[in-house]
Amino acid sequence: MTETDFRRLALGFPEATESAHMDHPDFRVRGKIFATLGYPEMGVGMVKLFPDQQKDFVRAEPKVFAPVNGAWGRRGATYVRLKVAKKASVMRALAAAWRNTAPPKLVAEHVGGDSSSGARRR
C-alpha cells in the first residue's frame, strides 16, 4: 500500500475531501477528519476508530495497525503502517472511520438502511 493508494481509497468515500492539518494531508467528511496521512512520518496513515474497533484491528493485524501514542490513541486514533498493509484491510479501516465520522443520514444514504446501520456515536 502506498500513500497514493491510501489517498485514493480515502477520497473514494461519499463527500470525502482532502485538506491539510498541521502540514500533513487529512481526509474529511463534511468538515470532520476521519483519516490522515504522513504523520508522524511518511508511510504512515491514521484512521479515527472507536476504541473497541481499534482493539479488533490491532489484534487481527498488529504489524499493520497500532494505537496512536497518548490520549488520541486511547480514544481510538490508530496508525496504519502502509508498507505492510493490504488494500482490503485499509479499506475496512477507512470505511469504519468514515462511518464513525459522517453524519448518520449520510451513512444511511450510502450504506443502506437506517442511520444506525454502521455509524456509531459516542
Which grid coordinates are listed for 64?
499493520
What does residue 60 show for φ and ψ, rounded to 5 degrees?
-70, -35
Q: What's residue 22's pLDDT?
A: 79
Q: What's residue 40's pLDDT?
A: 78
Neighbours of 77 (CB within 10 A): 21
The pLDDT of residue 122 is above 50:
no
- For the entire predicted model, the pTM comes to 0.89
Mean predicted lDDT score pLDDT of the chain: 91
What does residue 86 show for φ and ψ, rounded to 5 degrees?
-100, 150
> Domains, the chain, ranges and CATH?
3-111 (3.90.1150.30)
Q: Of all residues in the chain, what percent carry a pLDDT higher than 70? A: 91
The CA-based dihedral angle spanning residues 71, 102, 117, 66, taken in that order and rounded to the nearest 10 degrees? -30
Distances (CA, A) of 59 to 42, 53, 69: 24, 10, 17
Query: For residue 60, what is the enclosing H or E element?
Result: helix 51-60
